[in-house]
């Protein structure tokens, strides 16, 4: 299968290119090399490489020649520096996706795998001892300033019990990045219905691993902690460090993309299926910071009590649908992955595009 991988020189994209090559497919890397994701120009990947933006329809049109499917990874990620980033997020993520889909429709390419995100759910699943399943409202600056980080029941104010989110949970995006990721899914769903396309959205959890960008606000918390350790500084843990997340290794995410691409031609036209893509091992942000610091040899993390208003408290989801329907399994454990990541090069250290998987 010849696969156009947008964002294919990036962190997740480069791991996908490696996996597609391993499975005998023909990836084509399409990447604009945004400075936020590429502090240095990366080494050429082991694939045909086109340097262009998905916002450029002519470049996309040329790149789609002879392509069987598209794996759309190109996006701005993270919370960035503030709401002033909103125009860039919308342009890169939503306008870029619209241009890509319109051009795919013209070219007759009907199979798509989209890099979705768990951020579309907003706050995760919560249960109140008295009122059952509830959806807490956004956290307020007053509560956060006072160190009241946990959402409470909107009915009685009781402490809530976090749980796992399923794909059928109504979306509730709570920051600009989350809004753009949900819009990407809606655009892809509209495209499938109008042109008879087939699409999968993989709703990534907190992806980490070798090759993450260094020293940028446009990256996940694992990258920020690893960057601090590389500078000899203590990782700064916001809130109280008890925020629950699911940290999934980039190689496992790459495998999920590969099996999704291989399954897309078997799907009925006019469909988009979403799959949560996580490790199944929830951990707190504080646990992750301590694991990285311990494996790196310090310094120890510091819990600051600071917060970002666009952050959610807990978000972990069940990946059972992906495991059941596509026979996918995460292979890299939390302990193994953090030990590797604590010593691995970051993007900006060596410019490396991909990492070499461990033997075996």
Structure tokens at 145: 């300033």
Instruction: From 209, 207, 289, select the one nearest 248 (Cα to Cα).
Output: 207
Q: Is 307 a catalytic residue?
A: no
- Contact criterion met (CB below 8 Å) for 301 and 293: yes
Q: Is 66 left (phi over 0), alpha (psi -120 to 50) or beta?
A: left
Whole-angstrom Cα distance, residue 259 to residue 178?
A: 25
Crossing angle between the packed helical segments 250-263 and 11-22, to the nearest 10 degrees: 60
Q: Which of 126, 177, 218, 307 is catalytic?
A: 177
- Report how far residue 22's alpha carbon sits from residue 27's, in angstroms, rounded to the nearest whole number: 10
Q: Tell me how far apart the alpha carbons of residues 174 and 347 are, in angstroms, rounded to a whole number.
A: 28
H helix count then E strand count, the chain = 11, 16
Question: Measured between alpha carbons, how far is 122 from 128 in angstroms, rounded to an integer?
Answer: 18
Inter-CA distances, 279 with 193, 317, 358, Å: 31, 9, 18
Provide the annotated active-site residues.
177
């Amino acid at each position: 299968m010849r696969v156009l991988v947008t964002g294919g020189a990036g962190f997740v994209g480069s791991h996908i290119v490696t996996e597609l090559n391993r499975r005998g497919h023909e990836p084509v890397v399409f990447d604009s090399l945004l400075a936020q994701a590429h502090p240095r120009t990366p080494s050429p990947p082991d694939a045909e490489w086109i340097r262009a933006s998905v916002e450029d329809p002519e470049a996309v049109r040329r790149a789609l020649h002879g392509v069987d499917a598209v794996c759309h990874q190109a996006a701005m990620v993270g919370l960035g520096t503030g709401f002033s980033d909103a125009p860039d997020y919308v342009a890169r993520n939503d306008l870029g996706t619209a241009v890509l889909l319109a051009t795919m429709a013209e070219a007759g390419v009907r199979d798509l795998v989209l890099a979705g995100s768990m951020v579309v759910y907003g706050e995760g699943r919560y249960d109140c001892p008295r009122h059952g399943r509830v959806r807490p409202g956004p956290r307020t600056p007053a509560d956060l300033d006072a160190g009241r980080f946990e959402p409470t029941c909107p009915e009685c104010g009781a402490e809530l019990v976090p749980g796992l989110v399923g794909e059928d949970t109504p979306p509730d995006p709570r920051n600009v990045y989350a809004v753009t990721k949900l819009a990407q899914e809606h655009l892809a769903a509209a495209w499938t219905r109008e042109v008879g396309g087939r699409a999968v959205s993989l709703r990534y959890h907190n992806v980490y691993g070798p090759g993450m960008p260094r020293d940028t606000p446009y990256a996940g918390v694992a990258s920020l902690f690893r960057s601090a350790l590389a500078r000899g500084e203590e990782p700064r843990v916001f809130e109280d460090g008890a925020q629950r997340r699911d940290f999934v290794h980039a190689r496992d995410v790459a495998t999920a993309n590969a099996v999704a691409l291989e399954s897309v031609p078997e799907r009925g036209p006019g469909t988009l299926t979403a799959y949560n893509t996580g490790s199944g091992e929830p951990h707190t942000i504080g646990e992750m910071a301590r694991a990285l610091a311990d494996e790196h040899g310090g310094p120890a993390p510091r819990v600051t009590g600071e917060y970002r208003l666009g952050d959610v408290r807990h978000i972990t989801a069940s990946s059972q649908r992906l495991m059941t329907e596509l026979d996918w399994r995460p292979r890299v454990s939390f302990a193994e992955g953090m030990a590797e990541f604590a010593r691995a090069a970051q993007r900006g250290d060596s410019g490396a595009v991909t990492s070499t998987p461990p033997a075996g």
